[in-house]
Amino acid sequence: MDRLHAAQIADAVNSGQTSALAVVEDVIARLAEYDEVQPQAWISRAEAETLRARARDIDAQVKAGTHLPLAGVPFAVKDNIDAIGFDTTAGCPDYAYAATSNATVVQKALDAGAILVGKTNLDQFATGLNGSRSPYGAPRCVFNRAYVSGGSSSGSAVTTAAGLVAFAFGTDTAGSGRVPAAFNHLTGYKPTKGRWSTTGLVPACRTLDCISVFTEDPKDAALVDSVVGGYDAKDEYSRDLPPVARPVRRIGVASQLNWCGDIHSEYLYARALERLIGMGFEVVEIDLAPLSAAAALLYSGPWVAERTAAIADFLKASPASIDSTVRQIVEGGLTVTGVETFDGHYKLAGYKRYAEELWDDIDILMLPTAPTIYRVKEMQASPLALNANLGLYTNFVNLLDMAAVAVPAGFRPNGTGFGITFIGSAATDNALLDFASQWNGHNAYARPDYDLTQESRMDTIKLSVVGAHLEGMPLHWQLTSRDAKFIEKTTTAATYKLYAMADTVPPKPALIHDNSGTGIEVEIYELSVAAFGSFVAEVPPPLAIGTVTLKSGEQVKGFVAEPRAVVGATDITDLGGWRAYIASKL
């Protein structure tokens, strides 16, 4: 599905080139189609007739001569933000309540002619950066549904990326509006704290919370910002922030980065850096350590207690209703002392001073939005450690009073999006959005196809490798480039012989079924169906992929060979495996 552009839709409706009703009919068809793929992106949705009635009202206003900045633009709202006509669940059914008023940003969008399609899924109580902590199901990356969508604004990112809405409100306390943008190839704009009202938002960390937006491009984000931004007397943390003009010439980059082992992210970041230099900007290396130390305070310092405070009564009354990982996090705040709280604030003050001085040397900071991405299964198996990795370059931004815009910067071989984030000092939002638009204008990326497979078809395939694809061997990259997951080292059943084939580059063995054979050392990997298919397509004869029996009796796909492979080959069965053979040749 093509993605929707807010500015294009509003211009077309205001000019009479199309109608809001036509936009809504298209959206209704898109919703029906994508409901077959990821219905869990939504928690609740407006009825089709409600959408049509709203569209007719917009068309009537336009016909009467009213210009609406967001005329007929479909949008979604993360379900920790109030919207009349919907329950607010914060991702927890037992917490749900009926909204009696619209959040300020929702009301402003509606007043500007936007059409609210529904409420989106999220990591419960906006606690998480991965999207898998929801009883309503785990939204997944639109390009490869084996992988997390990013969170906590998971549904908002997915519905925008899938072309169901033109923009979606998320929230961003620690990166929840940026990480999902990266994984799904979107713009994710996190305003300066207080630039947008948080009235009507279920708090996560009240002093740090920001409502954010997902759009197809930075220009649409700027349009939404022009509509919903501004001081709100009802919000104690709202700020009247005159924009700070900051021409961008010098871009700060970290002298050292942790990629969590993801060589593809590292490569894409290096390419992005090359492109910035090619655009004529000066790159200045900075020490990221103080910013990283500030980031660590968010979940290992007193701000955990602020998350506890946000839902303290509910935690006490209904602990069993809370996701176990979320509960583990928020319960951690119960033991934070007053002394620890002040100590954390003192440390943060030092990091803030460093950040303030940083802007004397650079105009903006560029970082990877996230160092890597994980499969849903991996995240569920290690929810705290892997989630923490996703926030390495996002957690400090609100603590240090910065604005940020996440933009796309390519795709990994597995189809998942990689992104970079431009970060600026408070109130430099306009400059950041302008620069992000400049980046997008110079850097177009061909999007892979959407992953429209059904849940039941999202199987993985185990693959046995015996020679040049073993870890450390010359062709192992053909597995890592497909994001193959190592399962185990084992041996085949005692019914195989191994031969070193003649004149192959790089050297390769041939595994032949033979009842007089023995167990041969192999490594087992797990690949997605798509990755397995592309891998098999590259296997040259006389090698082939067949079925290999392991010593456990399990049968997996693996390298085998045609009989002609042993012509002129050396029988190395007695060595027990390819590694031993290679070692014997040294």
Helix (H) or strand (E) holding 357: helix 338-358
Q: Where are the alpha helices (DSSP H) in 359-428?
A: 376-381, 383-390, 396-399
Domain map (residue ranges) of the chain: 6-231+246-442, 459-584
Distance CA 53, CA 67 (A): 19
Q: Which amino acid is at 372?
A: T
Q: Quote the pTM value.
A: 0.81
Note the pLDDT of residue 283.
97
Distance CA 421, CA 367 (A): 5
- The CATH number of domain 6-231+246-442 is 3.20.20.30: no
- Please report how the helices 218-228 and 104-111 are oriented relative to each other, as an axis angle in degrees rounded to 10: 100
Architecture (CATH level 2) of domain 459-584: Roll (3.10)
78 assigned to active site: yes
Nearest Cα to Cα of residue 429 among 175, 167, 212: 212
Work out the number of other CB atoms within 10 angstroms of the CB of residue 112. Answer: 19
Note the pLDDT of residue 457.
44
Distance CA 548, CA 44 (A): 47
DSSP 226-292: HHHBS--TT-TT----PPPP----EEEEESS---TT-HHHHHHHHHHHHHHHHTTPEEEEE--HHHH
Side by side, the strands of the sheet bearing 402-411 are 42-45, 115-120, 74-78, 167-171, 211-215, 187-190, 402-411, 417-425, 364-368, 250-254, 282-286
Note the pLDDT of residue 456.
38
DSSP 288-331: -HHHHHHHHHHHHSTHHHHHHHHTHHHHHH-GGGS-HHHHHHHH
152 assigned to active site: yes
Q: Which residues contact 477 (CB under 8 A, 6 or more apart)?
A: none
CA–CA distance from 236 to each of 203, 206, 231, 304, 403 (Å)? 13, 10, 10, 21, 19
Extract long-range pairs of 541-547: CB within 8 Å, 24+ residues apart: 542/501, 542/510, 543/508, 543/510, 545/463
CA–CA distance from 401 to each of 92, 252, 347, 348 (Å)? 29, 17, 15, 11
- With tokens 């310092």, the residue in question is 301
CA–CA distance from 423 to each of 112, 179, 215, 369, 393 (Å)? 28, 14, 18, 10, 10
Note the pLDDT of residue 482.
87
Which of these is catalytic: 176, 212, 265, 437? 176
Helix (H) or strand (E) holding 353: helix 338-358
481 assigned to active site: no
Note the pLDDT of residue 459.
62
Which of these is catalytic: 19, 78, 212, 238? 78
Question: What is the residue-level pLDDT of the chain in tens, covering all 586 positions?
Answer: 799 999 999 999 999 999 999 999 999 999 999 999 999 999 999 999 999 999 999 999 999 999 999 999 999 999 999 999 999 999 999 999 999 999 999 999 999 999 999 999 999 999 999 999 999 999 999 999 999 999 999 999 999 999 999 999 999 999 999 999 999 999 999 999 999 999 999 999 999 999 999 999 999 999 999 999 999 999 999 999 999 998 999 999 999 999 999 999 999 999 999 999 999 999 999 999 999 999 999 998 899 999 999 999 999 999 999 999 999 999 999 999 999 999 999 999 999 999 999 999 999 999 999 999 999 989 999 999 999 999 999 999 999 999 999 999 999 988 999 999 999 999 999 999 999 999 999 988 989 889 886 443 446 789 999 999 999 999 999 998 888 989 999 999 999 999 999 989 999 999 999 999 999 999 999 998 778 888 898 899 999 999 999 999 998 999 999 989 999 999 999 999 999 999 998 8
CA–CA distance from 340 to each of 209, 302, 334 (Å)? 21, 6, 12
Distance CA 368, CA 269 (A): 7
Which of these is catalytic: 19, 44, 134, 152? 152
Note the pLDDT of residue 300.
83
Peptide bond into 383 cis (omega under 30): no
SS3 of residue 116 by DSSP: strand
Distance CA 119, CA 111 (A): 18
Q: Which residues contact 578 (CB under 8 A, 6 or more apart)?
A: 466, 467, 468, 470, 473, 498, 509, 521, 572
Radius of gyration (Cα) for the chain, nearest Å?
26
Distance CA 246, CA 95 (A): 43
CA end-to-end distance (rounded Å), the chain:
55
CB 222 within 8 A of CB 437: yes
Note the pLDDT of residue 531.
82
